[in-house]
Amino acid sequence: MARSLVAIGYYTGQMVMLLAGTMSLPLLTALVSREPVVALDFLTGMGVSFSVGAALVLVCKRGRKADLTWSQGMVVVALSWVASTALGALPYYLSGYWGSYLDAMFDVMSGLTTTGLTLVRDLDHVPDGINMWRHFLSWLGGQGIVVLALSFLIRSIPGAFKMYVGEGKDERLLPNVISTAKAIWYVSLVYLAVGAAVLWAVGVRIGLPTDRAFLHGLWVFMAAWSTGGFAPQSQNIIYYHSLAYEVVTMVFFIIGSFNFNLHWAIWSGNRREIYRNIETVTFAVTSTVLATLVLWELSRLGVYGDAVSLFRRGYYSLISAHTTTGFMTTYARQFALEWGPLSLLAITIAMLFGGSASSTAGGFKAVRIGIAFKAVVFEVRRLLYPERAVVVEKIHLWRDVVLGDKQVKSALTIIVLYVFAWFAVFAATAAYGYDLPSAMFEAASVVGNVGLSAGVTSATMPAFLKSVYIMGMWVGRLEFMAVFVFAGYILRLAKPAWITGSRA
Amino acid sequence: MSRLTPRGDDLDRSPGDNIRIGQRRGRDDKSDIAAAVAGVAVEVAGSGVLILLGLAVAILMGR
């Protein structure tokens, strides 16, 4: 057990030191924007984070050459996310824009998990350095802290793949996991350059000053690509009052919700994959069906007067929910008060379905929905055909593969776990007296790492509920396994071996 | 997809170690940029199709 702890401590320490390094970007932003107090907050945050990380690395230096087991890799990931949340909140708290340390941690977890719910006060006057940290955290979280570490810090460690899997990405783009991490950054940085430039141009076109248009373009792109949903203004995307801004953000958060393997396949010349892949096909079908329901209900209720408004409010919200982005072109309470039960239900389902696996998106993931649907089709076909007939169901995921029991079991298990987590968060919200539709909606937004709000999430909500939401976002982003293994590890530490009957 | 049953060996030190991004299949930098541009174009077109589909549904429902 001691050897295991040393290995976990060493790699967690490295992750924490890396977090300290990432604070240099908001620090630089604060200095350029002449915000000395904010710069001091980030210097303090960097100092504390680096000290904690360095202390862990020094104390646990014997763990440097340890070959991580599956459980240790998962524990490192879960623990790194907790440590990053606790330490990344320091500059937020020191800035005074968050009411408590818990609120600051809520926003860091929301950023890292690419959720986008926020408890910040007076967002419209938040300094540039803080805004940079909000959106940069979201960007880093979308890539994955482990992906960041594998790209820039950890050259080559035995067991790197186990950490990579623990963070919700289970397929490599290239044979080597470190090359895969670099490829993910390569794709994202190309899109960052393209996306920020396009949004900058649109921002200037709609009348923002050039420097503000650049910062808004950069931040909004970071939030769109990472399907995060943060925005620099409290009105979110409504602030821009621009169809062009809405369409451009929609393009980038749809692409952001694609599997990194899909990006790599297309960029490597396999362009037909975009319409053959089970994930894109599933996403196209579910989003069209759910959009039809939402727009039909909104039209029936007469919430919006014309097709353009239906598209800009209804369709945008649906796709924002389905890709788990959380950008809003409506006010939060409009969902609960004006949208009607069918629209609310469709958006809730979209949030739970989510985007693609191995992407920045949350939710069940399209591949699992596709596999579950194919499994149902398989069972029906098996019953319809003669008993001796050999029935085979195929899916296209990079190549045609025969659907097996193992894949179906794995997909359904994660879906069931998501439903349990959603129900737990929903029950906790409802227990505090929030109306049931809003509680259902908010719980789906939390567990699916979406960020749309029906008005429940606010700085005045109960502290316990804030903690439940933090847990919900964490569990949803890491897709349960890393968190379960972490919990099991803690239990093992807390109880003597003769009770658990296990060894380290 | 197979998170519950981790598959495969740890290939951290596979022959892929020596493959550098941008030099797969003997590519040079220029063809790499062309591949990235083409990839971005295909993905933007793909998301555009989905957005147009949504616009069509909105027009249909808004009539």
Global pTM reads 0.89
- How close, in Å, is residue B31 to chain A by CA atoms? 11
pLDDT (0 to 100) of residue A159: 61
End-to-end CA distance of chain B: 42
Contact A292, B57 (CB under 8 A): yes
- A410/B3 touch (CB, cutoff 8 Å), yes or no: yes
> Looking at beta carbons, which residues of chain A come within 8 Å of B51?
247, 250-251, 254, 319
- A175/B61 touch (CB, cutoff 8 Å), yes or no: no
Mean pLDDT for all residues in chain A: 91
- B2/A170 touch (CB, cutoff 8 Å), yes or no: yes
In this complex, the residue of A171, A190, A291 whose CB is nearest that of residue B40 is A190
Query: CA-CA distance, A98 to A107, in Å (whole number)?
Result: 9
A432: DSSP letter: T
Contact A7, A72 (CB under 8 A): yes
Query: CA-CA distance, A483 to A71, in Å (whole number)?
Result: 10
pLDDT (0 to 100) of residue A157: 59
Mean pLDDT of A191-195: 95
In this complex, the residue of A177, A186, A254 whose CB is nearest that of residue B50 is A254
Query: CA-CA distance, A273 to A397, in Å (whole number)?
Result: 8
Statement: residue A140 has pLDDT above 70? yes
Q: How confident is the model at residue A148 (pLDDT cuts 50, 70, 90)?
A: confident
- A319/B24 touch (CB, cutoff 8 Å), yes or no: no
CA distances from A389 to A104, A216, A232 (A): 60, 60, 59
Q: In this predicted complex, what is the ipTM?
A: 0.88
A394-396 and A400-402 strand pairing: antiparallel
pLDDT (0 to 100) of residue A166: 63
pLDDT (0 to 100) of residue A404: 87
Query: CA-CA distance, A76 to A335, in Å (whole number)?
Result: 39
Tokens at residue B25, please?
Answer: 């299949």
Nearest CA in chain A to B44: A251
Q: What is the pLDDT of residues A167-191, one digit of tens each?
A: 666 666 666 777 788 888 889 999 9
- How close, in Å, is residue B21 to chain A by CA atoms? 7
Q: What is the pLDDT of residues A75-95, one digit of tens each?
A: 988 999 999 999 999 999 999
Mean pLDDT of A419-429: 97
Q: How confident is the model at residue B60 (pLDDT cuts 50, 70, 90)?
A: very high
Nearby residues of A74 by Cβ (< 8 Å), 6 or more positions away: A162, A163, A165, A166, A481, A482, A485, A486
Q: How many residues in total does chain B contain?
A: 63
Contact A442, A428 (CB under 8 A): no
8-47 in B: which are within 8 Å (CB) of A?
10-17, 19-22, 24, 35-36, 38-40, 42-44, 46-47
Mean pLDDT of A125-139: 96
Q: How confident is the model at residue A479 (pLDDT cuts 50, 70, 90)?
A: confident
- A307/B10 touch (CB, cutoff 8 Å), yes or no: no
Nearest CA in chain A to B8: A161
Contact A390, A381 (CB under 8 A): no
Contact B54, A350 (CB under 8 A): no
Backbone φ and ψ for A27, nearest 5 degrees, come out as -60, -45
In this complex, the residue of B10, B35, B62 whose CB is nearest that of residue A159 is B10
Statement: residue B15 has pLDDT above 80? no
Q: What is the pLDDT of residues A211-224, one digit of tens each?
A: 999 999 999 999 99
Nearest CA in chain B to A482: B3
pLDDT above 90 coverage of chain A, percent:
71
Q: How confident is the model at residue A445 (pLDDT cuts 50, 70, 90)?
A: very high
